[in-house]
Chains A and B, each alone.
Chain A
């Protein structure tokens, strides 16, 4: 029999017992719907988590440090040149790293602890430079109260929530749920206000010591002139530590900063205890030449040497490659890519569990198919006998029952995916109402990609066909003489 005829006869037969077959098909639909709802929830959660994590910079960032820095002794054990022969992590190295394949940008990691004055009270905290690109790729700055920096070197600051609380003298309440409402309240009295940052500027002295007095008019400060009130208040000459014979002076300076944003999320999660609570534009911080604990200028060129570089990679997959390339250049490199691997593992297991639960209903539905088709054989015994008597082969009869199972699978799958999609929409809708009440931003916790739609329908057809195996074989082996015998 040709495919058209098999399909045509199958649909006819299904329509003959429309009620019973519809019930069976509804069973399949419910099974597919539960599978789709479960899997789409798993996929949605995974997407939500990886979106967050990608924006956090945890998984697409490689941190490169110099092997010369003996404080990183733990990493020295890795293969590569000995600390003494390791190249300097300076501007040349930065540009080289920035041009590695897969690297989006490489920027120096500048952070220092300093005093910030708000009103008249001094507050000690860690300040970090943030590249302008973070505006679009860091979740913490995306949801900022207020705004991001207006330009690459604007004398502006974004505060972490806890520092904002400290400035206002608010003690964080444990278990506070109205996160968004609170941060808006925090932002109101702070946005647009001025902070005075006191910091130590290092100025390179061409000759060694004795040039302290000349550094009152430092070239570094002119770069950041703008509206900030920069004034030298103290001059000190500091001999360079240990083996380096270059000298630089340290000048105490002030920098006015406008508070433009408050962020709830921590943009600096990767840093652990060294995390900063005040963020300034990276360009601004670079131009300030603040004294950092581990930053030295290279004697020969006068160019700064960085303690570490943050290297942003286009996708998490490329992180290991970039890491290796940086190691080959003679630097230490580390990333949290292993953490993504375990996260993916977790979601694979979660998806597996959700799929098993979802499949349970489909398994029950497949028993329904077997039942319906076996019933159909009993009911259509005579009809099968007639078809065989007029020339139907075993294969024709088998194909017919197979096709009936397949059509039920197709219809059940299509209806089920639609149903699952609707259920997912409802769950999403309900969750977002809840999130909104809790003042969280709305989230897409549920996602039905095209492959899931097609996969679910295909899976439903396959399950139905497998269920049809036994009834089809039984119908095909039916003895026509027996089937045609009068009752």
Chain B
């Protein structure tokens, strides 16, 4: 059985796209393909002109490091590290000089409103705070693409809104392309400018969010180029 089957989408730089669908519809699998965590058995995923399917494992790691930032439903912070260390972690892999790293991490945490929590461990914080920290970590290497897998799934609606506002801020002020997986129609309608509906691994609907469609190009699946890509 194919988790993602025959989907052809084209996402432009700076778009805020929501992937909607029931559990098992293939939306997370699609996100993992675009994140470079998984490889398609056939077809292509082209980001910035690079076909991820053709990259080596090493190149794929570089892509994850520099081009995408990821946020998860379960935050996925490393419990044995403080917030500052968690946010600093991608900088270690990027081989940034270790004297510059704390300042960069502190800056990123300030941006998400966590400047007072640097030395805390993730378990000492609320879910909202943990998700903010993981957003800071996703931003630290200044990626072009932010991938969020149910970012508010473990949060109450008030903190969920706070997180979504932060993500929208990144989209608008930093021009970051956002691709968010969610099963909450309301959330998608509120923030995304384009909604992709998946069912059983297939794209069943690609609709501009009318409420916020002022600046979005609409492309029907038939007209769209064969692959999702971030074309500048």
Contacts and interface: CB of A to CB of B under 8 A. Distances in A.
B171 interface: no
A481 B58 CA distance: 16
24 contacts: A1-B93, A2-B98, A5-B95, A386-B76, A386-B77, A387-B89, A387-B93, A388-B61, A389-B35, A390-B65, A390-B89, A391-B61, A391-B93, A391-B141, A392-B61, A392-B65, A393-B61, A393-B93, A394-B57, A394-B58, A395-B58, A396-B61, A480-B37, A481-B38
Contact of B70 (A4, A9, A390, A394): A390
A96 interface: no
A12 B82 CA distance: 12
A474 interface: no
B95 A389 contact: no
Given A5-B92, A5-B95, A392-B61, 17 more contacts: A386-B78, A387-B78, A387-B89, A387-B93, A388-B37, A388-B64, A389-B76, A390-B64, A391-B61, A391-B64, A393-B57, A393-B62, A394-B61, A395-B58, A481-B38, A484-B76, A486-B74
A383 interface: yes
A487 to B, nearest CB: 10
Nearest to A17: B80
Interface in A472-487: 480-481, 484, 486
Interface string A326-355: 000000000000000000000000000000
Contacts of A382: 76
Contacts of B62: 391, 393
Contacts of A4: 98
A395 B65 CA distance: 14
> Chain A binding site: helix, strand, loop or mixed by DSSP?
helix
B76 A391 contact: no
A478 to B, nearest CB: 12
A78 interface: no
B72 interface: yes
Nearest to A396: B93
B168 to A, nearest CB: 22
B66 interface: yes
Residue of B32, B37, B38 with highest tally of chain A CB at under 10 A: B37
A16 interface: yes
Contacts of A396: 61, 93
A229 B93 CA distance: 95
Contact of B66 (A387, A391, A395): A391
Given A5-B92, A9-B92, A390 B137 contact: yes
A242 to B, nearest CB: 94
Nearest to A390: B90
A1 B37 contact: no
A257 B38 CA distance: 100
Given A2-B95, A481-B32, A391 B58 contact: no
B204 interface: no
Contacts of A16: 80
Contacts of B224: none
A12 B32 contact: no
Nearest to B138: A390
Contacts of B38: 481
Contacts of A383: 78
Interface string B61-91: 1101110001010101110110000000110
Interface residues of B, number: 29
Interface in A1-42: 1-2, 4-5, 9, 12-13, 16
B119 interface: no
A323 B90 CA distance: 71
A49 B58 CA distance: 58
Contact of A392 (B77, B93, B138, B141): B93
A392 B57 CA distance: 11
Interface string A376-408: 000000110111111111111000000000000
Contact of A391 (B32, B72, B78, B94): B94
Contacts of A392: 61, 65, 93
Given A394-B57, A484-B72, A486-B74, A389 B64 contact: yes
A481 B4 CA distance: 15
Residue of A1, A5, A390, A392 with highest tally of chain B CB at under 10 A: A390
Contacts of A390: 64-65, 70, 89-90, 93, 137-138
A16 B81 CA distance: 10
Contacts of B93: 1, 387, 390-393, 396
B80 A12 contact: yes
Nearest to A395: B58
Nearest to B140: A390
Contacts of A484: 37, 72, 76
A387 B141 CA distance: 14
Nearest to B63: A391
Contacts of A9: 92
A9 B141 CA distance: 20
Interface in B129-168: 137-138, 141
Nearest to A394: B57
Nearest to A12: B80
Nearest to B141: A391
B155 to A, nearest CB: 16
Residue of B32, B70, B93, B98 with highest tally of chain A CB at under 10 A: B93
A394 B62 CA distance: 11
Given A391-B62, A394-B58, A1 B92 contact: yes
A388 B35 CA distance: 11
B65 A391 contact: yes
Contacts of A388: 37, 61, 64
A446 B229 CA distance: 72
Nearest to B72: A484
Contacts of A395: 58
A342 B78 CA distance: 62
A480 B28 CA distance: 13
B86 to A, nearest CB: 9
A388 B78 CA distance: 12
A390 B81 CA distance: 15
Contacts of B37: 388-389, 480-481, 484
A481 B80 CA distance: 21
A4 B97 CA distance: 11
Interface in A220-267: none
Contacts of B64: 388-391
Interface string A451-485: 00000000000000000000000000000110010
Residue of A4, A391, A392, A484 with highest tally of chain B CB at under 10 A: A391
